[in-house]
Structure 1
Amino acid sequence: MTNPRADRVKAVRALASRSVRRRSDTFLVEGPQAVREAVTAPGPRVHDVYVTPDAAARYGEIVDGALAAGVRVRTGTPEVLDAMSPDAQGGVAVVERVHGELGPVLARRPRLVAVLAHVRDPGNAGTVLRAADAAGADAVVLTASSVDVHNPKCVRATAGSLFHLPVVTGPELPEVVAALQAAGVQVLAAAGGGTHDLDDLLDVAGAAPAGVPDLAAPTAWVFGNEAWGLRDEDLALADAAVRVPLRGRAESLNLATAAAVCLYASGRAQR
């Protein structure tokens, strides 16, 4: 492919639009690392892979993995790939949108789940998903009021973790919390003014007294909006609210950092 103005190139670039993603039921994956994960990890179907000749030679595992999975690989000039996405870095893929559902997740008896409520920033959402993957979480849920997980910035921020664990999108928070609690998963809200201190909970994990959350138990963490956190009605849904201790002079932690701390605390306690 040599024409940056070709219809196929325009169609790929148009996936930056949410309405186009919904209509085509596909989204764009940018960069060699994320494309590699898309073609090698089980998950959404990859429709097409586009690479420059240099990228094809440098990242042979992408081409081999795609061809082994029956995915079409098309070679384009750097100008073509740049026209598809300014963040292509020599490779992009068109992938079927993620359609995870809560029921199958709960049927596998998850021990650690991250729930994003009213999280609007795509970079934060993608970074939380990446942290959840790294901490060994079993699933991530984005409520109806949260950002589209297929937003290009969100996909980039996951660094391929989008393809490593189930991602559920679209349910309302009360529905999610009720289903988790019915499945025996305690629901903890991460909140700066939380009743319980995360360090204190780690100290008693596995032997928590009555009325104190046990981090060693199956747990879902609920993380709120970047600016205002969780609303009072959202906090009321959780079994308990937990704060991350601030030892220095920082006023607060950003969403993704706080989420990583909480998820790793649970991961440590459960192991």
Structure 2
Amino acid sequence: MSDEILSNPKSERVKRIASLARKKERQAHGRFIVEGPQAVRELLIHRPELTETVYTTLGNEAWQSEIDRLASDAGVRLERATGEVITAMSETVNPQGVVAVARSWGGDVADVLKGARLVAILHEIRDPGNAGTVLRAADAAGADAVIFAGESIDPFHPKVVRSTTGSLFHVPVAVVDTLADAVDAVKTAGLSAFAADVRGADVLEARAEGALAGPIAWVFGNEARGLSEPDRALADRSVKLPIYGAAESLNLATAASVLLYETAFAQRS
């Protein structure tokens, strides 16, 4: 660890790190930022080889000693910085005193699907909070991979990374150009593709048939438009969640969480 404390929020290094909030800069440098003690902790525990540098304030925060130890154990460079510098590096208005720079990765879709039984495909998901929440739910449900397809948001967007609360570092992630590429890949890997769509059959039918017990890749569409007819045609079947109350609909992240868990329950029963 360097004894120097970074104190100039307008330095070139700080500007370079802050620029990683932009997709173009992330792609150009192959780096992204991880903010907050929980996400940085998970990065250091599960993907230390990707961690380039950790920047923290010098204080008595509860997480300080653990982050220091994890960085030291992983051989990761640790730098102290003022709160102003951390704020300048961060995308959040009120950062929590720690930022890491990590190398992004592009998992080959065929590799991440080897042996997979539960997969989430995000097609044209634009909201970073939704994307991160679905990835977190997939992690919690024991999914084997998450695929970002088409014009979906970049999985390394700072808001996506934050909303996964570390799950980005637990689950293999791949990015593909089109939904057709994603569906072809999961079918080649031996999974059925199920489209989550309000025009599909009730999930209780699929449950009763035992269809949820097999290897499944769930396709989740755009928050506003859902899946188009050609998109649905790529799937083996379309499934919806019933609405028993007066709610007009469920949002994407909630529906995805329920369907992923329904499948996880079926596969484990």
Q: Provide TM-score, normalisation by structure 1.
A: 0.92
Contact 1:31-1:87 within 8 A present in 2 as well: no
Q: Give the fraction of aligned pairs with identical amino acids, expressed as a percent.
A: 49
Cα distance in 2, alignment partners of residues 83 and 29 from structure 1:
14
**How many Å apart are 1:57 and its aligned residue?**
6.2
**How many Å apart are 1:72 and its aligned residue?**
0.5
* Cα separation, partners in 2 of 1:203 and 1:59, compared to 1, 3 Å: farther
**How many Å apart are 1:226 and its aligned residue?**
0.2
* Cα separation, partners in 2 of 1:115 and 1:229, compared to 1, 3 Å: same
Cα distance in 2, alignment partners of residues 140 and 16 from structure 1:
22
Q: Report which stretch shifted further, 14-23 or 229-238.
A: 14-23
Q: Report which stretch shifted further, 138-147 or 6-15.
A: 6-15
Structure 1 stretches of 4+ with a deviation exceeding 3 A read: 55-58
CA RMSD of aligned residues (A): 1.4
Partner of 2:258: 261
Cα distance in 2, alignment partners of residues 55 and 204 from structure 1:
56
- Alignment equivalent of 1:173, drawn from 179, 201, 224: 179
Deviations 1:93-128 (A, max 9, x none): 000013111111232x10100000111111111110
Partner of 2:111: 104
**How many Å apart are 1:182 and its aligned residue?**
2.3
Partner of 1:211: none
Work out whether 1:235 is the aligned partner of 2:206: no
Work out whether 1:186 is the aligned partner of 2:192: yes
Cα distance in 1, alignment partners of residues 220 and 64 from structure 2:
36
Work out whether 1:270 is the aligned partner of 2:240: no
Unmatched runs of 5 consecutive residues or more in structure 1: 206-213
The one-letter code sitting in structure 2 at the alignment partner of 1:237 is L
Deviations 1:226-257 (A, max 9, x none): 00100110000000000011111111111111
The one-letter code sitting in structure 1 at the alignment partner of 2:52 is H
* Cα separation, partners in 2 of 1:162 and 1:14, compared to 1, 3 Å: same
Matches within 5 A, 1:54-73: 54=59, 58-73=63-78
Work out whether 1:198 is the aligned partner of 2:203: yes
Give the secondary structure class of the aligned counterpart of 1:27: strand
Cα distance in 2, alignment partners of residues 39 and 120 from structure 1:
28
Q: Report which stretch shifted further, 13-22 or 51-60.
A: 51-60
Q: Provide TM-score, normalisation by structure 2.
A: 0.93
